Structure 1
Amino acid sequence: MAFSPVITRLYGPEAFGVLGTFTAILAILTPLAALSYPIAIVLPRHDADALGLVKLSLGIAVAMSLLAGLILTLFQTQIVDVFNLHTVEPFILFLPLAMLFTASMSVMNHWVARKKLFNIKARVAVLQALWLNTAKAGIGLVAPLATVLVVLTAMSSALHSAMLFFAVQKNEKSQAFSGVPGKEKNWQKKIKNYRHLAFYRTPQEMLSASSQSLPVVFIASMFGPAAAGFYALGNMVLMMPSSLVGNSVKEVVYPKMAEKMNENLSVTGLLVKATLSLMLIGLFPLTIIVLSGPWLFGIVFGSDWTVSGQYAQWIALLVFFNLSNKPSIASIPILHLERAILVYSVVATFLRLSSIWVAYYLWGSDLSAVAFFSITCSISYIVLLAIVFIASVKRDKALE
C-alpha cells in the first residue's frame, strides 16, 4: 500500500489494465494448476499423509502447467481472437509458468497453515512485498511498461514459495519435508480420498475467480484498457488489505475447524466469531471509501486516478461481503459442501457476469457496469454466508 502512490505515478492506467487482464486470466486458471489438492494438506491427522499431498500437488501442478503450455502454443491465435485478449497476447505463453509458481505458493501456504507457522508467513510476506514493489518502482523509473508489471507479478509467486520453503526448512519445530514420522499412503489412495476437491472445489474456485476477475477483461473489451486500469487499481487497493486480513484469519480458522471436526466438536461458534470480527474490521475503512473515494484516490494516486475512486465507492460494497465470507469459504471442505457450493457458484457467476452486460446495454456506462456488478456480488455473498451457516448449525445439532 505504501508503494502504490509511487507506482501509479510511474505506470499509467493502460499498463495497469494489461496487468489486471493478465492476473484475471491467471486467477481463473490457477485452480486447475493443482486441482485444489493443496487445500487437503491441512486435513490429514498425520504429517506423513500431508507430506504426500504436498508431493502430489506439486506433481499435478507440473503436469497441468505443461498441458496448458502445449494448448496455448498450439491454439494461441484462436484463443486470443475468441476471447478478445489482444492486449495481453504478448504474455499468453507466460501463463503456464505463472500457474506453476502460483500452485507452488499455494502448497507452501497450506503447509505453513498446517504447522501454524504464522510468524514465518508474516515475515516472508513482508519481505516478498518489499522486493516486488521496490523492483516495480525502480524499473518503472527507467521503463514504466506493462511488461515490467506482468513479469514481476508472476515471478513474485516463485520468490514467495521459495522464501517460505527455506524459512520452513530452518524452523526446528516444523518437521518439514524430511524426517516426518508415519507411513505415507499410496498415490492412488490420496487421489481417491480427496477427489471431491478436484471434482467440486476446482470448478467452484474457477467460477469464483471468474466472477471476480472477468470484470477486468469485460471492461477492457467494452470500454478499453484505461477503464480496465481504473477498475484494476480500485479493486487492488481495496482487495489488498482485505485479502491480507481475510486470508490470514481464514488460514488460522481452517486448521482450527479441521481439529474440531476431527474431535467431533462444535464449529458454529468459531465460524460466527470469525465472521463478525471481519465485519467489524472492514466496516469503518470501507465506509470511508464509499463516502470519499474519488477525493482520496485523487490525493493518494494522482489526479489521473479520480475515476478509479468512483469505481472504488461501489467496489467497497462487494469487498465488505467478500471479507466477511473468508471463514465461510474456509468451512466448505470441513462441512463437505463442495457439491452444493459448486451449484451455487454456477448460478452466482452467471448472475454476476450477466449484470455487467445488462448494465452495459441498458446504460452504456462503465461506472453503471461496476455498480450493478458490485450489488449483484454482494447479494450472492450474503447467500453464501447463509448456506454455510445453516450447514454448520445442522452439523452441530447432529452431534448432540
Structure 2
Amino acid sequence: MRMLDRRFVTSTFILGVGMLVAQVISFGISPVLTRLYVPQGFGILAVFMSVVNIIGVIATGRYELAVMLPTDDEEAINIVQLSIFTLTLTTLLIWGVLFMGVKVIPFVRRWQLPNAVIHLIPAGIFSLGVYNTYSYMTLRRKYIKQLSISHVVRSSMTAATQTVGGLCRFVMGLPIGVAIGYFIAALYLRRSINPRIGFEIELHNIKRLAKHYRKFPTYSTASILLNTVARESPSILLAYLWGAQVAGFYYLGQRVIGMPLTLACSTIGRIFLQRAAEERRTTGTATRSLRETLRFVGLLSVIPFPLLMIFAPRFFIVVFGTEWYTAGIFARVLVPLWWIRFIVVPVTTVFEVFQRQEMTTVWNLGLCITTFGCFLLGKYFFQNDVWALGLFAGVQTLLYIGLLVMALRVARCQA
C-alpha cells in the first residue's frame, strides 16, 4: 500500500483536531440541552435548521467553490466578493418574502415553527453563507490552523447561547445559538484572511466572474439544492407526518452522530478539493487524490460504524435519558447510510474540479425523489416511522454507491 501523502495527512489532522474539539463541545453539551429542552423543542430546531440549510447552500450561487480554481489570488478575492454579493441579494429576497407575509409563511407554519423562529431564518441563512465563503478562501491560502479554530469558535458560541437560553426557559435559545455560532466564526475567518475582503465590491469584476463561472449557479446550485432537500427533508417530513416530537428524536441522532460525520466529510472534502484541483492542473486527472482520500476515510470508518450499529440504543439511554431511546433506534437504522456517506461525500467535489456538475444534478434529482417517496410510503403503506427511516436508508445507500462509481470515472477523465 502506497504511503499517504504527508501534506494531506497533516492538513487533515490539523482540521480534524479542531473538528474533534468542536464535536466534543457539541456532544458534551447535548446531555445538558436534552434536560433543558423538550423533544418538541429539538423538533422545532430540526425544522429551522433544515430550512436554513436548504436555502443557505444555494444563497451564494455556489460561487464559493470557484475560489479554489484561479491561479491568481486577486481573482479569488473577487470571487469571494461575488459570493457575498449574491448572498446579500438572496438574503434580502428571503427577508422580503418572510416579512411581507407571502404564502410561504402559512406553509412553514404547518411544520410548527413559531413566528419568532421564522423571523430568524434570514439571519441564519446569511451567517451560514458568509462562513462557508470565508472558509474556502481560508483553505485556498492554506490557513489550516485558522479554519480548524473556526470550528471550535462556532461550536463554543452555539453551545453557550443554547445553554443560556435553556436556563432562561427561552425556546428560541436553540436556533439563536446556531445563527450566532456561524456568524462569530465567520467574523473570525474574515479577520484571519483579510479584514477588507467582501466589502470593496467592483461591479465590473462581479459581472465578468459571474459569467465566467456561470456553471456553478447553473448546475452546481441545482445539484446541491436537490441534495440538501434530500438530506434535510426527513426532519420536515417527520414533523409533518408524525409530529415535532418524532422530528426531535431524529434530530438528536443527527446532532450527536450525523452532524459530526457531515463536518468530517466537509473537512476532508475541502482538503481533497484543494489537492484534486492541483493535480488536475499538473496531470489532467485527479485519480491519485481520489484514491488516497478513499483509502483514508475507509481506514477511519472500519471500526466505529459497526460498533455504533450495535450499541446506539443503549448509548442514547445512558447519555441522554430513557425518554430518548427512540433516538437511538433511529440512529441504528441510519448507520449504513451514514457509513457510505462518510466514504463517498468527501470525493464528490471532483465533479466541481472537472466542471461536470450536470452529472450530480441528475443524480441528486433521483435522490430527492426517492427521499420523499420513502417517507410517504412509510407513512401511508407501512404506517411506521422506523420502517420509513429503514427504507430511506437502504435506498440512499445504493444511490451513494452509484455516485462513487461516477466519481471514479470523472477523476480518470472517462466521463
Q: Residue in 1 aligned with 2:46? A: 20
2:67 pairs with one of 41, 45, 63: 41
Q: Residue in 2 aligned with 1:200? A: 219
Q: Residue in 2 aligned with 1:152? A: 177
Is the counterpart of residue 368 in structure 1 residue 387 in structure 2?
A: yes
Q: CA deviation at 1:293?
A: 1.1
- Name the aligned partner's letter for residue 34 of structure 1: T
Counting matched residue pairs gives: 387
Is the counterpart of residue 63 in structure 1 residue 89 in structure 2?
A: yes
Local SS of the residue matching 1:320: helix
- Assess, with a 3 A threshold, how the Cα gap between structure 1 residues 58 and 70 changes in structure 2: closer, same or farther: same
Q: CA deviation at 1:185?
A: 7.7
Q: Residue in 2 aligned with 1:103? A: 129
Residues 16 and 146, structure 1, Cα contact 8 Å, conserved in 2: no
2:146 pairs with one of 96, 116, 120: 120
Residues 49 and 184, structure 1, Cα contact 8 Å, conserved in 2: no
- Assess, with a 3 A threshold, how the Cα gap between structure 1 residues 31 and 280 changes in structure 2: closer, same or farther: same
Aligned counterparts of 2:362 and 2:182: Cα–Cα separation in 1: 30
Q: Residue in 2 aligned with 1:280? A: 299
Residues 19 and 146, structure 1, Cα contact 8 Å, conserved in 2: no
Local SS of the residue matching 1:394: coil
Aligned counterparts of 1:127 and 1:85: Cα–Cα separation in 2: 31
What whole-Å deviation, never above 9, does each CA across 1:12-49 have from its counterpart, x for those lacking one? Answer: 21110000001001111012311101111111111010
What whole-Å deviation, never above 9, does each CA across 1:322-362 have from its counterpart, x for those lacking one? Answer: 11123322211112221111111111210122111111112
1:162 pairs with one of 157, 164, 187: 187
Q: Residue in 2 aligned with 1:316? A: 335
What whole-Å deviation, never above 9, does each CA across 1:35-93 have from its counterpart, x for those lacking one? Answer: 10111111111101000001111111111111111122234455423772333443223
Identity %: 22
- Name the aligned partner's letter for residue 413 of structure 2: K
RMSD: 2.2
Q: Gaps (5+ residues) in structure 1? A: 171-175
Q: Gaps (5+ residues) in structure 2? A: 1-26
2:399 pairs with one of 380, 383, 387: 380
Residues 317 and 323, structure 2, Cα contact 8 Å, conserved in 1: yes
Residues 102 and 158, structure 1, Cα contact 8 Å, conserved in 2: yes
- Assess, with a 3 A threshold, how the Cα gap between structure 1 residues 309 and 207 changes in structure 2: closer, same or farther: same
Q: CA deviation at 1:192?
A: 1.2
Residues 34 and 103, structure 1, Cα contact 8 Å, conserved in 2: yes
- Assess, with a 3 A threshold, how the Cα gap between structure 1 residues 82 and 54 changes in structure 2: closer, same or farther: closer
- Assess, with a 3 A threshold, how the Cα gap between structure 1 residues 232 and 77 changes in structure 2: closer, same or farther: same
- Assess, with a 3 A threshold, how the Cα gap between structure 1 residues 184 and 29 changes in structure 2: closer, same or farther: closer
- Name the aligned partner's letter for residue 243 of structure 1: T
Q: Residue in 2 aligned with 1:189? A: 208
Aligned counterparts of 2:108 and 2:245: Cα–Cα separation in 1: 21
Local SS of the residue matching 2:302: helix
- Name the aligned partner's letter for residue 4 of structure 1: S
Aligned counterparts of 1:73 and 1:348: Cα–Cα separation in 2: 32
Aligned counterparts of 1:130 and 1:73: Cα–Cα separation in 2: 30
Q: Residue in 1 aligned with 2:8? A: none
- Name the aligned partner's letter for residue 181 of structure 2: S
- TM-score, normalisation: structure 1: 0.91
Aligned counterparts of 1:394 and 1:124: Cα–Cα separation in 2: 35
- TM-score, normalisation: structure 2: 0.88
Aligned counterparts of 1:82 and 1:101: Cα–Cα separation in 2: 21
Aligned counterparts of 1:371 and 1:56: Cα–Cα separation in 2: 41
Residues 290 and 313, structure 1, Cα contact 8 Å, conserved in 2: yes
Q: Residue in 2 aligned with 1:212? A: 231
Q: Residue in 2 aligned with 1:32? A: 58
